[in-house]
Each structure stands twice: as C-alpha cells, then as structure tokens.
Amino acid sequence: GQNIDQPTEMTATEGAIVQINCTYQTSGFNGLFWYQQHAGEAPTFLSYNVLDGLEEKGRFSSFLSRSKGYSYLLLKELQMKDSASYLCASMDSNYQLIWGAGTKLIIKP
C-alpha cells in the first residue's frame, strides 16, 4: 500500500532549528514535496526533491534519500510566523500526490 508518515506535532523555540521527518512508501516515485499550511489557509509550495541530497532555499532546506524512503524539512532561525502545519507528499508513478497527515509545528518565544 501507499503510506506517508510524519509526526503529528512538534514544538520548537523561536530562533532555533527544527527538523521534520517524513517516510514514504508509494507505488513508484516521481519526487517528494513539502508544503506549508497556515491555519485556515490553503497549502503553499515549499520544496520539491527528486534526487538524493539536500536542497537549500533560504531558511528552509529539504533532504531526500530515495533508498531509505526518507525526507526531512529543516527550518533554521525559526520565526513565530513559521507556526503552521507542514505537509509531506510523495508523487507516485501516476504523478499523483500521496499526502501525509501533516506536522503541526508550534513555535514558542
């Protein structure tokens, strides 16, 4: 079956670093996506990895290991506005996204 696992909730401190992990099992693989969703709003695209390694984009970085079926989203210099849900999604062989349930990130001052 197809499955995406990510923690339900994480808490971190303003200014710190947090890593949100995601493991996936899908029928075929055409890339791993991370989206950010603030409460009451639609998701916004953060990153796309299709090759192994780390992709850095400002304060956010995303890592992929295809052999391990594993990805993480790294957020540095956390700000209060980073409080949101972070959705991991794997694209299967039919180019369909299989969504994780999301990780709610709580930032404390």
Partner 1 sequence: GAVVSQHPSWVICKSGTSVKIECRSLDFQATTMFWYRQFPKQSLMLMATSNEGSKATYEQGVEKDKFLINHASLTLSTLTVTSAHPEDSSFYICSARGLQGGPMQETQYFGPGTRLLVL
Q: Is 62 helix (H, G, I), strand (E, B) or coil?
A: strand
Per CB under 8 A, contacts with partner 1 among 20-59 are 30-31, 33, 35, 40-45, 48, 50
Query: Would you call 82 helix, strand, or coil by DSSP?
Result: helix
Strand ranges, E, within the chain: 3-5, 9-13, 18-25, 32-37, 44-49, 53-57, 60-65, 70-75, 84-91, 97-99, 103-108
Q: Which is nearer to partner 1, 3 or 44 (CB)?
A: 44
State the nearest-atom distance from the C-beta of 77 to partner 1, in Å. Answer: 25
| Of residues 80 and 95, the one with the C-beta less far from partner 1 | 95
List, in order, residues 6 or more apart from 69 with CB less than 8 Å away.
Answer: 23, 24, 25
CB of 92 to partner 1, least distance (A): 12
Among 16, 54, 101, 106, binds partner 1 (CB under 8 A): 101
The residues of the shown chain that bind partner 1, judged by CB under 8 A, are 30-31, 33, 35, 40-45, 48, 50, 87, 91, 95-97, 99-102
